[in-house]
Amino acid sequence: IAIYGIFFELINPGAIFPGVIGIISGVIALYALNMIPFNYAGLLLMILGIAFMIAEVIITGFGILGIGGVAAFAFGSVLLFDADTLGSGVSIPLIIAFSLVSLVFFIFVIRFLVKSRSVKIVTGVDEMIGAIAEVLEVSERGYRVRCHGEIWYAESNTVLKVGQKVRVDSLSGLMLHVNPIKE
């Protein structure tokens, strides 16, 4: 399969599918015939490194998982193939380049994630609590206030007047509970 796949790819360049199947089949055949000296500890370290890097993006570990993943992947890359048997191992400059690019990426991602945690919530009920509003209308049913450019019904334990600034203390349904701001 490997020989035919590569042969058809060479005859019809750009077909891609036969070349991919041929190369994958060739690598599997070489492995099955023990032609590629392979270290399972190196492979395990590489898989562990990739898992740590993915986990760092999903759950913020403040860089520990990302740095550990880069280190595990780099050490696994060095251990993956036996340089004595093959005549040469995995290129050390390639491993260093990949490790540095990954490290810079994770430093950027961690910095971005840490910044995003400190950003104030801008939607939902939590955004309304503590917001400043202005009384627009006073009636026997309560008050109408403008908060964040929207007009809301409001109620207060104190008497309010039109134009007065108030702070939102809580929210129940579409009713704001407000108190005057002491100036």
CATH number at residue 161: 2.40.50.140
Number of independent structural domains in the chain = 3
Residues 137 and 112 in one domain: no
- Its domain, for residue 112, covers 37-119
Residues 55 and 88 in one domain: yes
Mean pLDDT per 10-residue interval, the chain, length 183 residues? 81 81 80 70 83 76 77 85 67 85 79 71 74 92 90 92 93 90 79
Q: What is the pLDDT of residue 46?
A: 84
Residues 48 and 97 in one domain: yes
Residues 81 and 45 in one domain: yes
Longest C-alpha distance within the chain, in Å? Answer: 91
Instruction: Identify any residues that bridge with 154 across adjacent strands, giving them in sequence order.
Output: 143, 176
Q: What is the pLDDT of residue 44?
A: 83
Q: What is the pLDDT of residue 36?
A: 66
What sign has the CA pseudo-torsion 81, 94, 20, 22? Answer: negative
Token output for 146: 């403008």
Residues 45 and 115 in one domain: yes
Residues 29 and 92 in one domain: no
174 alpha-carbon distance from chain centroid: 35
Strands 165-172, 150-155: pairing kind: unpaired
Query: Using CA atoms, how far apart are residues 69 and 57, in angstroms rounded to an integer?
Result: 11
Strands 175-180, 150-155: pairing kind: parallel
